[in-house]
Each structure stands twice: as C-alpha cells, then as structure tokens.
Structure 1
Amino acid sequence: MKFPILQNVVILSCMLAFLSISAQETNAPKFGKGLFNLLGKDSTFTMKVGLRFQTLATSQWDVINGLSNPESSMMIRRSRLKFDGWAFSPKLKYKLELGLSNRDQSGASEYTSNAPRYILDAVLKWNFSGNFVLWFGQTKLPGNRERVISSANLQQVDRSLLNSRFNIDRDIGMQLRHHFNLSDTFIVKEIFSIAQGEGRNITKGNVGGHQYTTRVELLPFGNFASKGDYKGSDLKFEEKPKLALGVAYDFNNNASKTRSNQGSYMLNDTGFYSTNISTLFLDAMYKHKGFSFMAEYADRDAEDPLAKNSDGTLTGDEVQVGTGLNLQTGYLLSKTVEVSARYTNITLDKSITGKGAENQYTLGLSKYIAGHSLKVQTDLSYTDIGFKTNELLFRLQVDIHF
C-alpha cells in the first residue's frame, strides 16, 4: 500500500467509532438500516453508521464470427463506509461516505496530490427555512437520475453506458434545494448548484470557471413510497401509478476535461486547454404494482470541442460531444425475483471524436433476499460497436448493505 499513514487513519477512525458505542446511547436498527445508531448524551447529535460492499464476477468475449478472446475477472466492485445523521439540530444534517475499494479510489492524478480518493461524499444539509435546504460540501451533482440513484439500489448489476459517458458525478460546492405542491398530489422539486467544475477530491488544477447545474422535477401523482423515484425496481409494489419527470441543464465554464468535470484533462503547449461545455438531461421514472420503467436522454455540446495549442494546431484531445439514450424496464415475478431489460444508444459526433454509434442490449435477473440490502444480480449484455469489435459481457454480483 502506497499510503499506509492515510490507510491507518481510516482504520483507526472506524475502530474509535465502534469503541464509542459504550459511551453513547445506542440501538441496533433492522438489517439494511445501518450497523448501529448513536445518540449523544446531551441529544445534540445523531450518527448512523453503515457498511456495504459488492463482489463482482465478469466474463467478456469479442464477437468475431463467434466468440473469441475471452477475459474474466473478479473484484470487490465497491466497498463503502457511510455515516449520516444530524448535528446540533435536526435541521442540520450531514453525510460522509468513504470508498475503500480500488475502483472507488481510482482516478488519482497529480491534481489530487497523487493520493487515493477516499472521500466520496462529505456534505452538510441545512434546512434554514420552510422547504428550502442548503447543501455545502462534496456530493453528487443534480444531473441524470441514474447517477443519483445509489449504486446500492440499482435494478441491474451496474449503471448504463449513458451514465458512464455523460454523467457529471460528484463535485464540491453548494446546492440550494426546494419543493412545493401545485395541488394535493402534484409536487415540484427544484435544485440549483454551483460547483468547482473539476470533479471530486481535486486539490489543484482548477484553472477554469465554475460549474452551474439546474434541475426541476415534476411528480404529478405525489411522492413514491420510500423515495422510490431514486431506487431501481418497484419493490414497494406501488398501489397507484407513480411518475417522476426530470430535466437538468449543466454549464461548465472553461472546462478542461473531455467530459465536463469528468474524463481526462486536455493539455496543450501552455498548460490546459479549456472551453465551455453544456449538458442537457431529460429523464422519467414510472412504477406501478411491480412494474418499473426508466428513460433517460443526454446531450453534451461544447463551444470549441477540439483542443488546440497556442498556434492553433490540434493536440489530439477533444470533448466527447454527442447524445445518449437509455431505456430500462423491469417486472417483479414475485416479491423477490425480477426480470429486467435495457437498451442504450450512444452517438458521439464522429467528425469530432472519430467514433461511431454504440448500441447495447442487456437482459437482467435479480433475486432480492432482503430488498436492495441483500441481493444477487446477473445480466448479459451485447454491445454493437460501430468503430471496433462487438462485445458480449456476462456479470454476476452479490450486494450486501448493512
């Protein structure tokens, strides 16, 4: 391990958290609702401690006159420690989430001081007036719905190609959130965010402007059970139809990465190349009696997508401009078994990126032993790739969430 001091600090902090149980009023929640809850003796804070991890096995083949070049792997896809509660007042909530697996920490560079990226979320949420809540810290930006859905609550093994190509992920900054009722059942939710625009855990290299994101959601039939508009599958078997419609627009001023605040930095002879990047998201979630349907559309554009040196010559880097469409549905055959299907299309601007369209078709099967808290999921995907060899991918994953 390259960073034993930081690793030991994390481990020591976890041990101290467990040892502190004896000094606090505690109660053990039901499975899937955290390892334990803490309540300060003077009732000035609460803390719920949670743990989860996913074990993933994959097999992949190239499709060239049959199957060839087989590859297989097993990994701990995600491993997370979660802490949340309130401090001083129930109106001031917090969330801290640490990622411990290799995939959780990947992406370190000179702009993260060559350190692993343990921190996923570290955010305060202040309900300062009525339905207004101010978030401050590092967390997911209000972009596409599929990205905001926790990886613990996904309908299939992992998110779609649309999310991997277009999501705006996490960043550090402020978010203002509000909701109101148009009628007894019609709810409107609004979010406005200002972020650094470079992604999570960036310590230097913020050479551009800021990132501005606005999202509006419409729930004409009221709230979903147990916040089901941000969970895969209709495990609550909604008695009445529930629908959520969302639109989000993201503008990253003088962005220096190939995918807004994601992807790799675009460098030129003077340092960084930057351009204005905008991304539009449209999405919907529908659930009723075990049936669910989610749709998403993404469109990324840039003012000048081709990175250039000071003399106008091209560097070879470019913004990944284009569109994505994801359609996903599932049906629960029983309270614990679900079949699902997904179609994803990615169409990048070939004149800029040199890449053609991708179409991916996925069939999934899930066994919910204890809802999303303990489940086994498998899926099979065929990807028709216009600019390289087609692929077949099989995945099997076990997910446990305390």
Structure 2
Amino acid sequence: MKKMASSIHVVKHNLLLQMFYSLMFIITINFKSTRADKLAPALFVFGDSLVDVGNNNHLPFTIARANFPHNGIDFPGHKPTGRFSNGKNAADFLAEKLGLEYPLPYLSMRQNKNNNFSSGVSFASGGAGIFNGTDQLYRQSIPLDKQVEYFGTVQEKIVQQLGLQQAQKTLSKSVFTIVIGSNDIFGYYGSSTSSQMKKGTPLQYAASMLLAFKGQFKRLYDYGGRKFVIFGVAAVGCCPAQRDRNKTEVCNEAANFGASIYNKGLLSALQYYQKQLKDFQYTYFDTYTVFLNLIEQPATYGFKESKAACCGGLGNLHAKLACLPFSTYCSNRSDHVFWDLYHPTEAADRIIVDTAFSGPRKYAFPVNVQQLVSI
C-alpha cells in the first residue's frame, strides 16, 4: 500500500511538473509573439475627426461629438467611444498593424499623473485643422498647434519616466501619424461667403496651409519624432455632404482641386526635409487617389454604395443630417464607403490603412509603413 501511495504521489508530481512546464512554454511563446508583433514602441496620432478616438468627448462646449449611437455599433463592445465611425477608424487599424493597443485620447489620460505615455497617445480632434478656427461651425476642437503643444508636455513626461537617453531612443523609433487638412479645405470651399475665401487664390491658400503645417511638423521633429506617416488630404469634394450641394450629386471638383494642390506641396516639402533633417524618415500616403478609387470603382473593393451615407437622414444621399440617435442606418455597413456625411466606414478605413501599411510605392511613398518601421 505504501509503494502504491508513493507511486501515485510520483505520478501526481510528474503531472504537475508537466503542467507547469507546458504553462511556462505557452506564456513564453505568447510573450515572444507579442514582442515580435510590436513593430514600434509607440504611436502618436495628430489630426481631425478621421482619427479622433474620443478627445472631443472631453471638450465641454463642442457639438462635434460622436459619443452617441449609432456610432460605434461595430466597435468592440458595440458602444460609441467618440470615433466618427461605425467601428474602428484609421488610427485603430494602424495601431493593430504595429502590434500596439488602440490609441487612447490624450484628454482622458492627462488627468492621471501615473499614466504611461511612452506607449503612445492620440491628440486628434474632430473639427481640427491646420489653421486655428476651422471648427467655427462646431464651436470647439483642438487645432494642430495645440495638439503639438500637448505633445510637448507628453515628451517631458516620457523623459521623466524613461530618462533622456531612453526617451530619445523610444521617440526616434515611434511612429508619428498626421491626418489633417480636410477641415481647412472645407473652410475655403464651403461657400462663397466663407471667411477663409479672403485669404487669396486657391494656390495662395494651399501655400498658407503648407507653411502652417511645416511649422508644426518641425516642432514635432525637434521634440524627437523621426518616423512620420503623413496622410494627404482625400478627395473631400466627393463626400456625401459635398455631393448633396449639387442637384446632379457630382463631386465638388473645386474642393478636390484644392486638396490636390495642397497634397503636391506637402509631398514636395517632405522630400525637401528628408534631405535637410538628420534621421528623418517618412511615409507619404496618397489618400486622395486611394479613396477616389474606392468611390469610382466600388465593386473592385467589395462595395456597392459609394455616394450615399450609411447613417444619416433626409435627401437622396442621407446627407442632410449627421449620424444622430434618431437617424436611420444601413444594415449592410460593409457595403458602404461612407458611414456618415463626411466620414468613411470601418470597411473603407481598413482598406486605406492596409494600403498605407504594405501597399506599392505609387500610393505609399517613398516607402510604405511596414518598410518605414524596419528602417
């Protein structure tokens, strides 16, 4: 009996050891996998509602919010988070590609002194522009210069947390993403009485946009940013809100022209800076062409509707109203390019980021994001 009890004890002991080693093996594999999938230390996001992940939820007076149904219906948890989308937006998909968590809004993090900003954060804000005042219609947003100012505060905290040398190393390998300019274009081409129209010809206005952008970009470089993913302005004249202004529902070609002028200047500036700034690397993504492809060749990308908004109200394109709790919304959201009168669906954003991340040089120049992070 003693021998039998002893044998049972040995078997149990061996089984426990096997379970322990198996568990350690699984943990080790998962840990290695997580580390291998993490292609950059952090993602810092600057921009407008196309990449806002909830900053505007914390602005007391703005009406540019998306923290109500039906926004977020396809986001994990199926609840609105402040994203102007039915699900994930471009910032979320880019974070996934980099092996990082979804970016958190800066205004939700700054209240907690113990927050670790070294893994990244989003400063993007619905209604924001390169110029201050582009959000006059919506009363309040965080313009680009303020977003960069907030990053200066974050940079100081990262230095405190990691030390100067490690902070510089972390920031130099992190990805700085900027998605902005649409609201500036809307401000100029929105109406013939727009106050922005007084700022000169389309060429002069684009030059002013570019000058302001370069000033903010240079500040981010001086703060330690070295790897930048810059999204050009899309063919914004083809969004439902712009089409709805024309009885024939065609794109606002004037707005598209303004976007294309600015994009050409932006790409030229980035090429110049790569020659002038030490260690500066970038991906310029041709959002204009890729998004226009989705609109003009929807079936090629799996879409059936590329003009009308999925969520909205009134009018042929559902573009008279924003996506509000009382709005109707389509059940086939993956068939639509546009979620509401301005913003793409999760399905469209997925294609955009997939192309930016691993697409060809004609869309992601001079390298795509996957190549950028490997430099």
Q: Would the TM-score normalized by the shorter structure come out above 0.5?
A: no
- Identify the structure with bigger relative contact order (alpha carbons < 8 Å, sequence gap 6+): 2
Bigger fraction of residues in helix:
2
Structure with bigger gyration radius: 2
Between Structure 1 and Structure 2, the one with more strand by share is 1
User: Normalising to structure 1: TM-score of the pair?
Assistant: 0.29
TM-score (norm 2): 0.31
